[in-house]
Amino acid sequence: MACLFISFKITNCLKPIEFIIDNFCLFEKIENEEDKIKIKEKVLFYESDIFCTINFSMDYESPFLFLKKILGIGEQAILNMAIGQSEKNINNFLIKFDNNADKIKHIKENIVEIVNYSFLFPFFLYYDIETIALSCLNLSFKKLNIQINITDIINIISTQKETKNVSIDIKTIEICSSLIDELVLSQIKKAPQNEQDNINNINIQSQNKQNFWVINPELNKETKEKTFLLKKRK
């Protein structure tokens, strides 16, 4: 609700906090006025907390732009390497496709899926776009059982003039990958089927609205999670 309240402000759609609270309480069938006041206080607390965490900046890029760039460089060197590695492994999930075009399409669809899922947790508040993009790429290859070391991907990126100045830390990517897997992907697998269906519907809609291959370039467990958040907050 705090994020929704902030989004109203930055899009100049000025709605009072009561508008959000009343609709939420109506949906949740909350009628007690004291409960409504407590909810309002929490929303306002998290609003200021979010603003402080992101340094009052709303200018965050999407991982899709960076992914589009790195997957297109060197005549799709990363994707071609993925196909080459998959052909060596009979247990990979691309074996059912007859041609490379279909394999590349399937790889891209899996990357998009994991990037969309990553939005379910605000990783962009704690990691830069390059780290999130490469973490999602890393997870998609693991999901497809494609044996590619993240170091090999970085070696390809570092040789290209478009990305040679990008600062990339392998250890950070590994941590971010494990967090996306633990805080999001593993939780989706544990969710009841009806909740998984809802998440998948959102994911499909996101793919249709933001296909990063045609995007406009002008547009701009408990302990582990606590440690992660505290470290980044500091």
DSSP letter string over 36-86? HHHHHHHHHHHHHHHHHHTTT------HHHHHHHHHHHHHHHHHHHHHHHH
pLDDT at residue 223, rounded to an integer: 43
Is there a domain that residue 48 lies in? yes
Q: What is the pLDDT along the chain (234 residues), one digit of tens a residue?
A: 998 998 888 877 888 999 999 999 999 999 999 999 999 999 999 998 888 877 777 777 788 889 988 998 888 899 989 888 887 776 678 888 888 889 889 999 999 999 999 988 888 878 999 999 999 999 999 998 888 888 888 888 888 887 777 888 899 999 999 999 999 999 888 777 665 555 555 454 444 434 444 433 333 344 444 444 444 444
Residue 45 lies in a domain: yes
**12 and 77 assigned to the same domain:** no
Which amino acid belongs to residue 157? I
Range of the domain at 49: 2-53
| Two structure tokens written together for 56 | 């009052």
Residue 222 within a domain: yes
- Residue-level pLDDT at 156: 87
Q: Which amino acid is at 15?
A: K
165 is a domain residue? yes
How many structural domains comprise the chain? Answer: 2
58 falls within a domain: no
Which pLDDT value is given to residue 134? 94
- Model pTM score: 0.62
pLDDT at 133: 94
Q: What is the pLDDT of residue 36?
A: 94
Residues in CB range of 116: below 8 A, 6 or more apart: 202, 203, 206, 207
Is residue 133 located within the same domain as residue 98? yes
Say whether both 15 and 97 belong to one domain. Answer: no
What integer pLDDT is reported at residue 178 of this predicted model? 94
